[in-house]
Amino acid sequence: EAHKETLGFQTEIKQLLDLMIHSLYSNRDIFLRELISNASDACDKLRFEALDNDSLYAGDSDLGIWIEVDRKARTISVRDNGVGMNRDEAIRNLGTIARSGTREFFSQLTGDRARDASLIGQFGVGFYSSFIVAQRVTVESRRAGDAEDQGIRWVSTGDGEFTIETITRKERGTTVTLQLRDNDADGEEGHEYDSLLDAYKLRQLVRNYSDHIAIPVRMKAEKWDADKQEMLETGEWEVVNQAKALWLRPRNEVTEKEYDEFYRHITHDFEGPLAYTHNRVEGRSEYTQLLYIPKHAPFDLWDRQQRHGIRLYVRRVFIMDDAEQLIPGYLRFVRGVVDSSDLPLNVSREILQESRDIRLIREGNVRRVLTLLEDLAENRKADYVRFWRAFGQVLKEGVGEDSKNREKIAALLRFRTTGEPIRIDVEAPDASGAAPKAAVAEDGIEDAVIKGEENTAGAADGKGKDAKDADEDVKNADGLISLAQYKARMKDGQKAIYYITSDSEAGARQSPHLEIFRKKGIEVLLLSDRVDEWMLSHLHEFDGTPLESVARGQLDLGDLEDEAERKASEEVAADYKDLVERLKTTLGERVKDVQVSHRLTDSAACLVSGEHDMSATLERMLKQAGQ
Ligand code: ADP
Ligand code: MG
């Protein structure tokens, strides 16, 4: 009847378990966050499925999470009455990692603990983090809608195999029980697990990891027993978290720490966010948005199938992860939650494509994120550099993708340059928090007025500054400059913003095209990201000043050339007329034209692209791509 089998983990999981147990001990508490997070997801999923099929609740729609400790048996258990798992789901979900990019991710691991630990953090350890503290993990579950004798028990000691059998289980949902590892206080690293059994400490941890969770998390209440002189369980369950959706709480009632924890809950990121913005929007479309910018890029930023992004809720009901319609591709690093008051609960991905509400929310999200970035660039310069290093290449895609916001995005771009590096004064960390921006829609939203009274309005900017990191970033920020800064120090008579593209910054710096600019002391932006050519094909001017490639067409430095120079170069041209003719005949079809140039001061010759031709860098890229 029990039909018990022993199965092996996917190879990657074996690797993950090994690494985790050895690298993540100092972060061992995260297992609790992961288990609570899964239990909460399971409740969200049940609520979502029950929208179509009320009978799944079987009379119990009061969803919750229960956490219990058994000090004698040395176990901790986390139970939920969410959607549960049947046998197939347990085998699949707890025995394989289905995520795209998994294999590539594992190939990046090196065996260097610190480095791997941070990589694993970005990957997300999830359920398997249980094995950091547990020598045996038991999962008992019954899927909503299944009969009582269709329950399952999954057991593993985390060394490559698990067993699964069918059991009878009264409660719907899942219980995960951890048998803690033995203390090893004398061992190399002095591992100690008993403190997790300390109800007071555990309660603190649970509160930390669940305060932002929207459903109640309960633990057994305790009372001081005067006779026995110790805390004893009263037998009552008590709710330990606020159990209110964090994003629906007024901003002034949510602490930085809670914003931080919530971010980790939805992203599995080890580090907190770089910044966030939290707003309630009312008007033609009503919704709440809580959007975060991470500190570092995920390992699969360039993977087209990556599933990150924004979680969509409708009136507090979880609808879907990664609703890509809520944010454009060039802001795909943004994480967070949108809770709409207008969308129908049965909204599907197909409907999302067409929905007017979604379009308004998407535009509102873009506006908020760009405002947040402007704020960072203005007031938290070192953090902005950090952002730029992680996501600048992605943001550049927006210049081509989002013509409506092109000016704004252009102002956020940063460049390497031949000019003097601009140094950032690291502001003293501002403990009071930046004054929230004017609450009323400063960005002229005609369709979405942000109400002033409520405290969730306005662009809260999450702090999270780390002085040491900031210093590091400032050092690396040498030479990064904005288009506005470039313009501010243009030479008298200079009419364009000059740039050069190349495969690498070093290559750009060595280009003979720069000679005349160096001689004249004209600054040139150095572009070497793959996306740059494409971006530049959409960015012709900034704030009224044209952008010009130093390698293209007739170089006209206008007023920057003096009369004497012009005359001299005309004379030179006349002198070399014969040579030019001979070169033209020799090179024939291979070139369009040969000209005497004043571009060069040291080199003898250079290749120049026609005014309307492809640039040499783009040509090279296309060739590499086999076109
Ligand atoms: P993630 O939560 O990122 O999907 P996890 O490793 O945390 O990854 O969990 C793996 C999968 O196991 C989940 O996606 C879910 O399908 C299943 N699972 C884990 N815990 C539960 C639970 N308490 N109830 C139902 N399913 C669960
Ligand atoms: Mg999880």
Instruction: Give 10-residue mean pLDDT values along the chain (627 residues).
Output: 86 82 80 92 93 94 96 96 97 82 75 73 80 96 98 95 96 97 71 87 87 90 87 89 91 93 86 95 92 88 70 87 86 94 80 84 96 96 93 95 96 92 57 35 33 35 44 53 94 92 88 86 92 93 94 67 69 76 79 70 67 66 62
- pLDDT value, residue 166: 97
> Which H or E element spans position 416?
strand 416-417
CA distances from 203 to 177, 278, 316, 374, 456 (A): 17, 28, 26, 40, 29
How many angstroms is it from 88 CA to the middle of ligand 1?
13
Among 202, 266, 42, 20, which residue's Cα sits nearest to residue 129?
A: 20
The closest residue, in CA terms, to atom 15 on ligand 1 is 93
Ligand 1: residue of 127, 178, 307 to mutate (most ligand atoms within 8 A of CB) is 127
How many angstroms is it from 485 CA to the middle of ligand 1?
49
- pLDDT value, residue 323: 78
- pLDDT value, residue 1: 56
Which residue type does 62 have?
Answer: D
Answer whether 134's CB lies under 8 Å from 180's CB.
Answer: yes
* Ligand 1 atom, smallest distance to 82 CA: 24
* Ligand 1 atom, smallest distance to 176 CA: 23
Quick check: helix, strand or coil at residue 519? helix
Answer whether 543's CB lies under 8 Å from 486's CB.
Answer: no
- pLDDT value, residue 437: 33
How many angstroms is it from 609 CA to the middle of ligand 1?
55
- pLDDT value, residue 392: 95
Say if strands 287-293 and 335-340 run parallel, antiparallel, or are unpaired: antiparallel
The closest residue, in CA terms, to atom 9 on ligand 1 is 127
Integer Cα distance of 16 and 120 in angstroms: 8
Give the ranges where 312-355 is alpha helix by DSSP (H).
349-354
- pLDDT value, residue 574: 76
The closest residue, in CA terms, to atom 1 on ligand 1 is 126
In the chain the first and final C-alpha atoms are separated, in Å, by 62
User: How many residues does the structure list for the chain?
Assistant: 627
- pLDDT value, residue 211: 81
**Pair of tokens at residue 387:** 């952002």
- pLDDT value, residue 138: 98
ipTM: 0.99
Strand partners, 166: 152
Integer Cα distance of 500 and 617 in angstroms: 10
- pLDDT value, residue 409: 98
Neighbours of ion ligand 2 (CB under 5 A): 37-38, 126
